[in-house]
Amino acid sequence: MEPLERYRPIIDDFDAFLAACERPLGNAVRVNTIKASVERTLAALNEAGVDYDQADWNPRVLTLEIDSPGSTWTSFHGFTHGQEEVSAVPPVVLEPQPGDRVWDCCAAPGGKATQIAALMDDRGTVVANDNNLGRISALRFNAERLGATGLAVTNADARNYSLERFDFDAFDRTLVDAPCSCEGTIRKNPDALDNWSEGHISSVAGIQKGIIRRAIQATREGGTVVYSTCTFAPEENEAVVQHALDNEPCRVVDFDLELEHAPGLTAWDGETFDERLERAARIYPHQNDTGGFFVAKLEVTA
- Per-residue model confidence (pLDDT) at position 147: 98
Is 177 annotated as ligand-binding? yes
Q: Is the pLDDT of residue 123 over 90?
A: yes
Query: DSSP label at 220?
Result: E
Query: 29-75: per-residue pLDDT in tens?
Result: 999 999 999 999 999 999 999 999 999 999 999 999 998 999 999 99
Task: Report the pLDDT averaged over residues 111-128.
Answer: 98
SS3 173: strand
pLDDT band (50, 70, 90) for residue 295? very high
Active site amino acids: 230
Query: 141-187: per-residue pLDDT in tens?
Result: 999 999 999 999 999 999 999 999 999 999 999 999 999 999 999 99
Q: Is the pLDDT of residue 214 over 80?
A: yes
**What CA–CA distance (Å, rounded) separates 80 from 62?**
9
Task: Report the pLDDT averaged over residues 274-295.
Answer: 98
Is 180 annotated as ligand-binding? no
pTM, whole model, 2 decimals? 0.97
User: In the chain, what percentage of residues exceed pLDDT 70?
Assistant: 100
- Per-residue model confidence (pLDDT) at position 13: 95
* β-bridge mates for residue 225, sequence order: 174, 298
Going from N- to C-terminal start, the domains of the chain cover 2-24+85-300, 26-83
User: What's the Cα-to-Cα distance from 219 to each of 42, 105, 174, 298, rounded to whole Å?
Assistant: 37, 12, 7, 11
**CATH 3.40.50.150 assigned to 2-24+85-300:** yes
Is 122 annotated as ligand-binding? no
- Per-residue model confidence (pLDDT) at position 1: 74
Nearest to 109 by CA among 91, 124, 86, 128: 128
DSSP for 115-128, written as a single string: HHHHHTTT-SEEEE
Is 108 annotated as ligand-binding? yes
Is 106 annotated as ligand-binding? yes
Architecture of domain 26-83: 2-Layer Sandwich (3.30)
Task: Report the pLDDT averaged over residues 229-255.
Answer: 98
User: In the chain, what percentage of residues exceed pLDDT 90?
Assistant: 98
Assess contact for 103 and 171: CB atoms under 8 A: yes
Is 112 annotated as ligand-binding? yes
Instruction: Determine which helix (DSSP H) or strand (DSSP E) holds 43, and give its type and residue range.
Output: helix 38-48
